[in-house]
Amino acid sequence: MRVTIRVAVNGEERVAEVEPRDLLVHTLRDELGLTGTHVGCDTSSCGACTVHLDGEAVKSCTVLSVQADGHEVTTIEGLAGENGELHRLQQGFWEKHGLQCGFCTPGMIMAAADLLERNPNPTEEEIRHGLEGNLCRCTGYHNIVKAVQHAAAVKAPEEVTA
Amino acid sequence: MSAVGSAIKRKEDPRMITGRGNYTDDMVLPGMLHAVFVRSDEAHAKITVDASEARRRPGILAVFTGEDLGDVAAPMPMAWVPPGIEVKTPERWPIARGEVNHVGDPVALVVGRSRGEVADGAGAVVVEYDPLPVVTDPEAALEDGSPLVHEALGTNRSHEWSLGGGDIDAGLAAADVVVERRIVNQRISGAPIEPRSAIADFRADELTLWSSTQVPHFVRLFMAIVLGTSEDKVRVVAPDVGGGFGAKLQFCAEEVAVSWASRKLGRPVKWTETRAEHMAACHHGRDQVAYVRMGATKDGKLTALHVKIIADFGAYFGMLTPTIPELGAFVMTGVYDIPAVKTDIIGAFTNKCMTDAIRGAGRPEATHLIEVCIDQLAAELEIDRLELRRRNFIAADSFPHEVAYGVIYDSGNYQGTLDRMLEHFDYGAFTEEQARLRERGIYRGVGFSTYTEICGLAPSRVTGPEGFGLQTGLWESAVVRVHPTGAVTVFTGTSGHGQGHDTVFAQIAADRLGVSPDVVEVVHGDTGTGPMGLGTYGSRSMAVGGESIAKAAERVAEKAKQIVAHQLEAAPEDIEVAEGTFRVRGTDKGMALAEISGIAHVRPELLPEGMEPALEEHAFYDPENFVFPFGAHACEVEVDVETGRVTVTKYLAVDDCGNPLNPMLIDGQVHGGITQGIGQALYEQIRYDDAGQLITGTLVDYALPTAAEVPSFVTDRTVTPSPVNSLGVKGIGEAGTIASSAAVVNAVIDALRPLGVSYIDMPCTPLRVWTAIQEAQR
């Protein structure tokens, strides 16, 4: 049995035919061609698949595609500005060498974006606890923390205009 | 300004931070099929596979068993034939034939149209298991009467190997104190966040294999042998690779099986492992039991070190499995001048997944036992731990230094890194505060690790068939190609997977060619481009691969100088690369690389008489020696003695990897390396029960450190260039992991000494620490 779902992905209305058992991460990757969202485990432990569902970070391996029907999804591909200007977290990860192999990076950035949304000026400890659902094997997290701090020091566009 | 030495931001990052990386599983080929493996649920059994129901299921095109793959030309290879030593090697096929030897052993390959259909199909394969007796403990496996993992070998003992020098018996007899310890270095997983993945496309008799691998050239060579074809018919591409840590330094059974299936079915076949598969079937690391005897006089002079290692190899050999403990033996004297050192290695088969190289590969085990035992000895002798180290350091003025068993350390200044570390750490103040806190029931400890390691693997004359016995050279290659417009492409035989090669290799070439690293593209990981290379492992990419690039770039620069000299009527030796041009020394006359390359490509008639057109050179480099990075690490911990929970509160690392090429990348490698060592010291352990069932088969059961478990690190460097290569560099990819586990464990022991705990094995989990405290108090 296949089900039709309509999801606003990165601001664009997308339609997909999915099986009821399909996970959102697989629909994003296999049906919608958005391969920036990664799969690193089978147990919702690693966070490589983190995306935003209606503005909140979720592990897209724990969301059924049908649950996203009628909702908004933002993936790493939708984070940069309209003219391709990097999101402050993308800039932070680049500036502070917050990535090595890059595989955890999209999920890490999406989780960090949610963290800064909820807590614009986190302490180091708050950053570390805020990202403990996302595993990185390369960086030892040191420069990821620096990257988030770098991004936090740059005001979000909406804060600048306000 | 020189690019080398600058903390230049990475060229590879823009695609990765925007989700436009290209990892193997991201790729889709026209007509591509999906594959999953059915894997053994049993640790040891005869098997009968019935795939008839599975083959009838919708969307399933084929189910292949080990017998179906009966036409592969050779079993899975192992690359070590040490002269004069027999290594008993079990036959291993891409898919098990009639018998499984560990949980996760591949039993069948299911190929079909979609991810979901092959998963369903795999569930319909019926495997009958006729259980055989199981052995999971390496020491039990070596006892008479143990169940045999491989009946055909008649023993679970794979081989014995020794490396030593000096008189151990005399050294131990001369000692006033001999510390004896049994040290277990537990089995761990490399656990890159990207699981392994491969896509095979066999068409018109030629195979293209995209694989998440560290060693595309090895994979091509072995694939040609196992499939019974020739290397020119095989191309292996490693696209973006999501971490390796040794787990992808392998020629994988799965790579063979999907390639074979693609040939059979005439369509591309993709396999991407689940994390559960990775934990059960991708090779593990470590798993050694060491019996250590370390002797010293009462004034703290080391007299002898003897280590007997029982290495648990699991059920099979991967490409390098039996060589891993031997790598540790090469640095068993550590940073110490010990007159007699000997390592005896015994290999054992058990009904567990095979072990092979995982970040550090043999050297973390060696460093851990040396550095833990130095602390044990200090306690016995009642000499301060750092003072005992100082009394035994190989002197800075004695390099190159030949150690007791003949290995020659290239350069070092161990006192220097320790002194620098102590500039960041007030040992006296810590000790005072530690004493005050203990009165309040707060237990803090500090641990040190002063290490060296052997890397830059190479040199072939030492590692090769007549030397150590690897059946390969370990040189490296580079091509530097200047395009007509002056843009540069560097091809390297190494195969990066997060190290930042695109950036730092560009820095090396840029300086020599008078251009910005921005116009230098680095191509790696594709056997279809550039010359053969050997890949990325053993912290070799800079010291061997980087040096190859420097050599090739120097050759290009030499040719460019001749062209400029000819154009400007100067002598080639008067041309220098400065401020972005090749200019005549002492004048403002010169030419940019783009102009030179324009002439070389477009106006070859203007070249000096007899010179070939174009501007491209290659180099192959096989170093004279290994390189030996070193350093001094300190770790502070606090132990909650009620729960046994250990928290790392501070970590300092001073490392020396020779000349720093990109300090930002070095720090990144050190941070990640330390965290992997902290992971082993405190959290990580692959566990099997007595029946050979894997207990830690997911990332829920196998604890990787998260951001909340580690502190920010303090890193610093000293610079002692290696005399081995012109760059003066040493590897840094593994050093953090090699150094750190001992620093953490020494800190835990230091914290708990007042409670009577004098030794503890890894991982120092709350249960183990709590139990150690209870036993000491009893």
Alpha helices per DSSP H over B628-720: 663-682
* pLDDT per position as a tens digit, B137-181: 999 999 999 999 999 999 999 999 999 999 999 999 999 999 999
Do A34 and B19 lie within an 8 Å CB cutoff?
yes
Q: Given CB atoms, is A9 within the 8 Å cutoff of chain B? A: no
Q: Which helix (H) or strand (E) holds B481?
A: strand B476-482
Contact A38 B704 (CB under 8 A): no
CB pairs under 8 A between A and B: 180
Confidence of residue A162 (pLDDT cuts 50, 70, 90): very low
H-state helical runs in B577-662: 593-602
Scan residues 695-714 of B and list those with Cβ closer than 8 Å to A.
Answer: 698-700, 704, 706-708, 710, 712-713
Question: Which token pair is B595?
Answer: 């102009």
Chain A residues whose CB is inside 8 A of the B673 CB are: 140
Q: Which of B16, B17, B699 minimises the CB distance to A46? A: B699
In Å, how far is B497's CA from the nearest CA of chain A?
Answer: 6
The SS3 assignment for B570 reads: coil
- Residue pLDDT, tens place only, B249-274: 999 999 999 999 999 999 999 999 99
Residue A160 has pLDDT above 80, yes or no: no
Which chain B residues contact residue A99 at CB under 8 A? 13, 16-17
* Mutation to test the B interface, candidates A44, A105, A142, most B Cβ within 10 Å: A142
Is the Cα dihedral B624, B520, B242, A48 positive or negative? positive
Return the residue of B nearest to A85 by Cα.
Answer: B18
Does the CB of A2 have a partner CB in chain B at under 8 Å?
A: no
Q: Does the pLDDT of residue B368 top 60, yes or no?
A: yes
Q: Could you tell me if B113 lies within 8 Å of chain A, comparing CB atoms?
A: no
Q: How many helices (H) and strands (E) does chain A have?
A: 6, 5
Mean of the pLDDT values across residues B676-689? 98
From the CA of B71, how many Å to the nearest CA of chain A?
A: 34
Which residues lie closer than 8 Å to A155 by C-beta, 6 or more apart? Answer: none
pLDDT at B778 over 90: no
Chain B contact present for A103, CB below 8 A: yes
Is pLDDT above 50 for B330?
yes
> Is residue B467 predicted with pLDDT exceeding 70?
yes
Q: Tell if the CB–CB gap between A106 and B664 is shorter than 8 Å.
A: no
Examine residue B465 and say whether the peptide bond preceding it is cis (omega within 30 degrees of 0).
Answer: no
Q: Tell how far CA B2 is from the center of its chain.
A: 30
Average pLDDT, chain B: 97
Which residue, among A25, A83, A101, A105, would best test binding to B if mutated, counting the most B CBs under 10 Å from its CB?
Answer: A101
Mean pLDDT across chain A, nearest whole number?
95
The answer to whether B605 and B387 are in contact (CB under 8 A) is: no
CA-based angle B425:B428:B430, to the nearest 5?
A: 65
Q: Does A135 contact B9 at a Cβ distance shorter than 8 Å?
A: no
Average pLDDT over residues B655-684: 98
pLDDT, tens digit, 9 for 90 and up, residues B176-227: 999 999 999 999 999 999 999 999 999 999 999 999 999 999 999 999 999 9
What distance lies between CA B624 and its chain's CA centroid? 21
Model confidence at A156, pLDDT cuts 50, 70, 90, reads low
CB B699 to CB A43 under 8 A? Answer: yes
Confidence at B580, pLDDT banded by 50, 70, 90: confident
Residue from B6, B8, B16 whose CB has the most chain A CBs within 10 Å, to mutate = B16
Is B699 close to A45, i.e. CB distance below 8 A?
Answer: yes
Please check whether residue B230 touches A, CB under 8 A.
no
Q: Which residues of B touch A19 (CB under 8 A)?
A: 116
Q: How far is the alpha carbon of B156 from chain A, nearest alpha carbon, in Å?
A: 34
- A-chain residues within 8 Å CB-CB of B708? 128-129, 131-132
3-state DSSP of B411-440: CCCHHHHHHHHHHHCCHHHHHHHHHHHHHC
Is the minimum CB–CB distance between A41 and chain B shorter than 8 Å? yes
Contact B667 A97 (CB under 8 A): yes
Instruction: Please count the other Cβ atoms lying within 10 Å of the Cβ belonging to residue B428.
Output: 8
- What's the rounded mean pLDDT across residues A78-92? 95
Inform me whether the pLDDT recorded for B74 exceeds 60: yes
pLDDT at A82: 87
Q: From CA B416, how far away is CA B721, in angstroms rounded?
A: 13
pLDDT of A158 above 70: no
Contact A137 B276 (CB under 8 A): no
- What is the gyration radius of the CA atoms in chain B, in angstroms? 27
C-alpha distance from B774 to closest chain A C-alpha (Å): 31
Structure-token pair, residue B532:
């053969």
Tokens of residue B565, six digits? 């000299």
At residue A88, what are phi and psi to the nearest 5 degrees?
Answer: -60, -30
Query: Predicted ipTM?
Result: 0.97
Residue range B700-719, pLDDT digits in tens? 999 999 999 999 999 999 99
CB B279 within 8 A of CB B697: yes
Residue A57's pLDDT is: 98
Q: If pLDDT is split at 50, 70 and 90, which confidence band does B629 have?
A: very high
Rounded mean pLDDT of B457-473?
95
Kind and range of the H or E run holding B130:
strand B126-131
Residue-by-residue DSSP string for B726-744: TT-B---TTHHHHHHHHHH
Which one of B193, B358, B670 makes the best mutation probe of the A interface by having the most chain A beta carbons within 10 Å? B193
- Residue A34, phi then psi, degrees to nearest 5: -95, 85
Q: Is the dihedral of CA B750, B756, B760, B764 positive or negative?
A: negative
- Averaged pLDDT, B11-25: 98
In a mutational test of the B interface, the residue from A1, A25, A29, A42 whose CB has the highest number of chain B CBs within 10 Å is: A42
| B649-674: average pLDDT | 98
Pairing state of beta strands A12-18 and A3-9?
Answer: antiparallel
Cβ distance of B115 and A30 shorter than 8 Å: yes
